[in-house]
Amino acid sequence: MSIRGVVFDVDDTLYDMAQPFYAALRKLFGERAEFDLPALFLAFRKYSDERFEESQTGKISMDEFYIYRIRMTLKEAGVQATDAQALAFQRVYMGLQYQIKLSPTMVRLLNDLRTRVKLGIITNGESVHQRKKIESLGISKWMKEEAIIISGDHKFHKPDQRIFQLMAERLELDGGQLLHVGDAFDLDVAGAVEAGWNAVWFNRRSRSVPQTGAGLSFFEVPSEDKLLSVVIKAVRG
């Protein structure tokens, strides 16, 4: 395997998405004994995934999407949130996402990689929202604008193979020369592998491999330190 390009997802990959989520909950609802924060974050991701496709195709509005995912999440903790509270949470959560920073480990990884391979980002989501997060992370230090693909700028999103093909064309590399790193198994890992890429599943939340992963070849890492080790080893061959 000769890796000449490494492409990252953004949310819960380049930064720990749970931290702004926890902070937003604490700010709006305080410290509550019934809040199992890690479990609530997993529920939040589950409910986000349930309605994401509808939010991207216009079947529901973004406000409806935001209301659904946090109301359903809080319901699991026995909290009945109003629509107004759900939207207030989204405003706080979004504001905190625009303050995110790369960890020292991720900075070290990107610094090492940029001298060895081409770098890129493929992220699903609304263009302005995702771009603000990317700017907050300071990604322009490591990659060019044309190497950043946001699904909101296109008519397709991960796991659609077209978004991986577009990145391969922009980096002028074949799929077998590319490694995709992401946290969402079906979107990032299965999508990349089906497009002919290599893949690393950054499994921060210790989730089980879904049934869709049967027969797929990929790396799995649980932490940023392990991610650094595995990706650098893959690049060095």
For the chain, domains (ranges, CATH) are 5-16+103-236 (3.40.50.1000), 18-97 (1.10.150)
Cα 21–chain centre separation: 14
171 Cβ contact partners less than 8 Å away, ≥ 6 residues apart: 5, 7, 118, 120, 147, 178
117 Cβ contact partners less than 8 Å away, ≥ 6 residues apart: 3, 4, 5, 6, 235
Per the CB < 8 A criterion, the answer to whether 113 and 7 are in contact is no
184 Cβ contact partners less than 8 Å away, ≥ 6 residues apart: 9, 12, 49, 158
> What are the per-10-residue average pLDDT scores of the chain (237 residues)?
93 97 92 86 95 92 97 94 96 96 98 97 96 97 97 95 98 98 96 97 95 92 98 93
Decide: residue 121, CB within 10 A, 0-12 exposed, 13-18 middle, 19+ buried. buried
Return the pLDDT at 212. 85
Kindly report each contact of residues 16-24 with a partner whose C-beta sits within 8 Å and lies 24 or more positions away, as own/partner: 16/103, 16/204, 17/41, 18/204, 19/100, 20/93, 20/96, 20/97, 20/99, 20/100, 21/93, 23/96, 24/89, 24/92, 24/93, 24/96
Return the pLDDT at 33. 66
Per the CB < 8 A criterion, the answer to whether 25 and 35 are in contact is yes
Return the pLDDT at 116. 96
Mapping DSSP to helix (H, G, I), strand (E, B) and coil, where does residue 198 land? strand
pTM: 0.93
